[in-house]
Amino acid sequence: MKINDELIVKIEKLSNLGTGIARVDGQVVFIENACPEDEVKIKITKVNKNFANAKVIEIITPSPHRVVPFCPMQNVCGSCQMQFIDYDYQLQLKKQMVEDAMKTIGHIDVKINNPIPSPNIKAFRHKIQCPVSQTKVSKKILAGYYKPQSHEIINIKYCPIQPEICDKVIDFIRNKAPEFNISGYNEPKHTGDLRHIIIRHSSDNGTLLVTLVINATKISDRLSSFAKLIFDEFENITGVCINLNNKKSNVILGDKTICACGQDHIYEKILDKTFIIGASTFFQVNPKSAENIFRYVKDEISKLDKPTVLDAYAGIAAFGVVVSDSADKVTSVEENKESIEKAHEVIKLNKIKNVELHCADTTKYLKSIKKKFDITILDPPRKGCSKESLDETLKHSKQKIIYVSCNPATLARDLKYLCENGCTVESIQPFDMFCHTYHIENVAIINI
């Protein structure tokens, strides 16, 4: 098997990155835009010692689970890798990915429940981050999403997984920016003005916060005027912020954000609690699916009679706030200062008296205390927890750990370590937060 070889194969399953898997003479081939049970003609694009990559050039016999994508750009945009697969089967495949991770990485036998579907599979995405560039000759502003495995921007004018108003705002910015002499960003040369457009949209009341990420160290008059134009054009926009990021990196946001017009936040509601979402606030992109997760965690905590709860890697203390009604006391720990400041506002807004906030690294905080908590909620970033943080969690937890994870691989790794140290995993409940992608959120209930 070599590059440019054309072969006919049957797709066996999906990888944990959403690519189809076939075998040729015993060697694994990863194939983009392929569905299990497809019979396809492929072209080899890369050959390594242990595997090869390929693309589909003809679908000979389609899988019974293959459907026509509802987005005409699905095949070229890198955002919805699985949209050509019917939604119910997507959920089955995601469950299989979790099962595979637990067996091959975690080496644990645990019950994986059927995934809880997203309440909406269109217009569910309420945080939009569009990279921006500019054509060389016509100087046309491009804003959209990257092609798969590249930094080439596909100019997206209609995205059905986000609210329609977001398309209109992005298109307005794209068309009006040149009138203010605002150029698109050239990543290789590190030139140009507008790097990203970020929109936070409230699923509760439909308001928007727009943030322009600018390759600069200060705000120009033309940029301030442009921000005001955007603010005045759309009645649902409550504020326009400008984030300054002149670093040569792939990090989207710089350290400094200035509110140019209106308010620097929107309000979002989860269950009966109201949250304040700023330009750089971490909050789930699919609030309605997140609500299912929060309800599930709260129900688990309610099984104990007013327990003490540690809310670790807390962000704006969303879990702490939501479960506060079911707990005697919640201790929320988050190292990001801005998130803790927002958490203080959220606690005051919701008139909560039993949530205590600490701006600290979780591991360092736990090392500094002696008390134990009935239940610990772990919601770490995608890389998961360190062994040191898991050791400290075990020292300070009495009955249960509820581990919320967006990465089945790191979850499996961490569950393996916890089981090796005396824990048992009661169950894992997947939640579909990121429809039409290979990503899946999981909540693991762990007994100590």
Tell me if the pTM is above 0.95.
no
Percentage of residues in the chain having pLDDT higher than 90: 92
Q: Answer for the pair 19, 34: CB distance below 8 angstroms, yes or no.
A: yes
Distances (CA, A) of 267 to 147, 203, 283: 32, 9, 11
3-state secondary structure of 144: strand
Residue-averaged pLDDT of the chain: 96
Q: Nearest-5° angle of CA 384, CA 443, CA 277?
A: 75
Choice among 406, 419, 423, 435 that is catalytic: 406
Dist. CA 1–CA 30, nearest whole Å: 13
Instruction: Report which of 267, 270, 266, 265 is spatially closest to residue 287, judged by C-alpha positions.
Output: 270
- Residue 39, pLDDT score: 97
Q: Please indicate whether residue 1 or residue 195 has the higher confidence score (pLDDT).
A: 195
User: What integer is the mean pLDDT of 4-19?
Assistant: 93
Question: How does DSSP assign 309-351, residue by residue?
Answer: EEEES-TTTHHHHHHGGG-SEEEEEES-HHHHHHHHHHHHHTT
User: What integer is the mean pLDDT of 364-386?
Assistant: 97
Distances (CA, A) of 69 to 66, 118, 279: 9, 17, 31
pLDDT digits (tens, 9 = 90+) for 78-102: 789 999 999 999 999 999 999 999 9
Distances (CA, A) of 87 to 78, 96, 355, 408: 18, 14, 39, 20
108-117 burial by CB neighbour count: b if 16+ within 10 A, else e? Answer: bebebeebbb
DSSP state of 121: S
- Residue 282, pLDDT score: 86
Dist. CA 113–CA 97, nearest whole Å: 13
* Dihedral Cα 324, 327, 331, 337, nearest 10 deg: -10
pLDDT digits (tens, 9 = 90+) for 20-58: 999 998 899 999 999 999 999 999 999 998 899 999 999
* Domains of the chain, start order: 6-66 (2.40.50.140), 92-119+286-447 (3.40.50.150), 127-270 (2.40.50.1070)
Q: Answer for the pair 433, 123: CB distance below 8 angstroms, yes or no.
A: no
pLDDT digits (tens, 9 = 90+) for 98-126: 999 999 999 999 999 999 999 999 999 99
Sheet holding 194-201, edge to edge: 153-155, 141-146, 127-134, 194-201, 208-214, 237-244, 256-262
pLDDT digits (tens, 9 = 90+) for 205-220: 999 999 999 999 999 9
Instruction: Report which of 106, 110, 82, 105 is spatially closest to residue 94, judged by C-alpha positions.
Output: 82
- Residue 17, pLDDT score: 87
- Residue 391, pLDDT score: 97
Instruction: Confirm whether 406 is a catalytic residue.
Output: yes
